[in-house]
Structure 1
Amino acid sequence: MLRSSAVFDALALPYDLLTRHPVWQRHRERMAQELPEGARHVLDLGCGPGISTAKLPAGTVGGDSAMSMLRRARRHDPRMPLVALDAAALPVRSGALDAVTLHSVLYLLPDQPAALREIARVLRPGGRAVLLEPQAGPRATMLGLARALPDVRWAATAALWRIMSGLYGRPTAQSLWNALEAAGLRVLRIDETLGGLGLLAVAEKP
């Protein structure tokens, strides 16, 4: 039930407001820097209200299962290419994409292995998957929230992210690495970020 589109529809407005913080913006820019050079065919999977999509190359397609998220994305940018989709059955031909990005999305999906296999399928050889995910473990919580405290709005955003990801489950760096490799991707690196709260993963299709 927690993973249904209805839940994400209900969260569209608060998600939109909270993810506009400059800290999130900087991490979106960092994700964009991890794309292959000259990437033109990009899918922002789980695009939400389109804030992350806007930081990616022009023409990036935003995809989401929640219609209210897509409507908010349309209001933010009427020209943004958007599509309703199921992450476990992407409406994209095999080998068509230069990159797929997921900004705090994978942990929310009901069938994560299937979604990762689909990502591997639609990427061209040398194409990249770039993911930002919450990190499991008490160290991540204590250090990350302590570092967030000077900025009240960011602290509130970080705390809500921890609460939400606690309901769904967070990966460790090792479990995320294993999941990406099991899907047929070669992991280039997984970096701790957001003061220990998050993991930034970059993987490539061989």
Structure 2
Amino acid sequence: MDAIVKKLSPETARPSREEAEEAVRTLLRWAGDDPAREGLLDTPKRVAKAYAELFSGYRADIDDVLGTTFEEVAGYNDIVLVRDIPFFSHCEHHMLPVIGKAHVAYLPQGRVLGLSKIARVVDVFARRLQTQEAMTAQIAESIDANLKPRGVAIMVEAEHMCMAMRGIQKSGSTTLTTTFTGEFKDNAAEQVRFMTMVRGR
């Protein structure tokens, strides 16, 4: 499953915290400020600590996250949908925030996931440098591989700060991506049912 994200080679091993902090100082100087001034003295430490949290998805094992499933479902075999899962990510092109929500559904085949696990898998992939398209596919692939349901449906909608803060500067625009596997992919009626459940308020 970790083939979903390319691992660092020995030549590009993870830098030390001190090296990360020095890189922040370099960026501060490049931006035109003085990292030695009072307000910026602790900024490198704060940024390194924030990055450890914001990109914690690289250290997560998705197989562990999705490892626990349940069989006692009283014969339930219809759509399980968790919608409006909020997430924060960063685009891999500009390292600017991506803010959105994910809707995740699957058709059980004898086993179900704990609902918190579904939100957790979204978080794991969001807390990496991403494209929205890749993140949508990764969520679906991980649930498909670990749970082996009859089908998975994912919808992700997000605002990209690389469009809002720079470049074209179109704040408020939303990008929508979907992925379907199994019965969701093969049956248009199931796709419609998923979309209706997501949009039903």
TM range (shorter): under 0.3
TM-score (norm 1): 0.27
TM-score (norm 2): 0.27
Q: Which has the larger radius of gyration?
A: 2
